[in-house]
Structure 1
Amino acid sequence: MSPDFLSGLVGDARADGITGFVAAAVVTDADRVLLQRRKPDDFMGGMWEIPSGKVEDGETILEALHRETAEETGLTIEMVNGYVGYFDYPNSRGGTTREFNFAVTVAKTEPAVLTEHDAHQWALLGDLPEVSDAVRKLIAP
């Protein structure tokens, strides 16, 4: 994935008035996708989501993708297979966050070590638990 392509994603987002950036990993294993459940007392508690997190100042989208996946799951990205799109959502600071989503493979699928979620599962793509509409559109066949 070229640096020009990635900087174009950020440039387009800024031109759209986006104020926050998140990198997210669509981790698949055959016909399954890795999902994590938000803790009950979190915003959108109980909702299942893909591993994701904020792009920090001075960090590239891909650096954040690798870091956040490792921090949230304990898994190491082996390869970024491609960019699969984005979606926007309101953030707590009154702006809009853009989530950049990438298809990835990991070196090993287990053990997943959760730090911010209370459960994980390898869900069948045709039988997803409660995920947001944006995530469902992103990963459903």
Structure 2
Amino acid sequence: MDHDLDLLTQGADRDGIDKHVVGAVIHNDRHVLILRRSGEDGFLPGIEELPSGGAEPGEDLVQALARELAEEVGWRQPLQLDPGFVATFDYTTGSGRRARQFTFSLAHDGTPISLSAEHTSHRWITPDELAHTTLTAESKNTIMTWAGQAASRLQTG
């Protein structure tokens, strides 16, 4: 794997981050999967987001991502992360904790999306459609960063 997970988490710890969160840009060609949070959720109800969630004690970032994707979208295959992509942003959780989200990217494996009760719907969007979403600015920036890197890989690959 191209990501040095220990360096990522050590950097977050040095910065005073006390919650590690993982997310995924799951892509199918130029389309990215986004989920809509339940309206009953206590944190950002009804907003659209990338699949994501907090790491549990003892999990590294990839283990946490595999668990979260299994829980949120029914992903059962081994993760094949895109090399060289990890985007981060910091935020304050609903309970006031300092969190850093580490977002990786991977191609959709064709498995039908099976949502958990945390989400009410999903859709596939292109980066051109970001203005028509309720994604946070941080998630929009993550998708744009991914799209820029994907375009560069296509031009040089």
TM-score (ref. length: structure 1): 0.91
Partner of 1:130: 134
Deviation at 1:76, TM superposition (A): 3.5
Aligned residue pairs total 139
- C-alpha contact (below 8 Å) 1:76/1:106 kept by paired residues: no
Distance 1:56 1:75 in 2: 18
Q: Does 1:102 align with 2:101?
A: no
- Matching of residues 1-141 of structure 1 within 5 Å: 1=1, 5-42=4-41, 43-77=43-77, 78-82=79-83, 83-108=85-110, 110-115=111-116, 116-128=118-130, 129-140=133-144, 141=147
Q: Deviations over 1:52-103 (max 9, x none)?
A: 1111111110001111011100124541013321001102343201000101
Q: Which has the higher strand share?
A: 1
Residues 79-128 of structure 1, C-alpha deviation per residue, up to 9 Å, x if partnerless?
A: 101332100110234320100010112322x4211102000001122102
RMSD: 1.6
Distance (Å, rounded) in 2 between the aligned partners of 1:105 and 1:58: 26
Q: After TM superposition, what 4+ stretches of structure 1 lie above 2 angstroms from structure 2? A: 75-78, 92-95
Q: 1:45 to 1:104 in 2, by over 3 A?
A: same
TM-score by length of structure 2 reads: 0.82
Larger deviation: 122-131 or 56-65?
Answer: 122-131
SS in 1 for 2:128: coil
Q: What SS does structure 1 have at the residue aligned with 2:129?
A: coil
Task: Read off the aligned partner of 2:37 and give its amino acid letter.
Answer: R
Higher helix share: 2
> SS in structure 2 opposite 1:127?
helix
Gaps of 5+ in 1: none
Q: Any idea what SS the aligned residue of 1:126 has?
A: helix
Judged with a 3 Å threshold, the aligned counterparts in structure 2 of structure 1 residues 137 and 2 are, in CA distance, closer, same or farther, namely closer
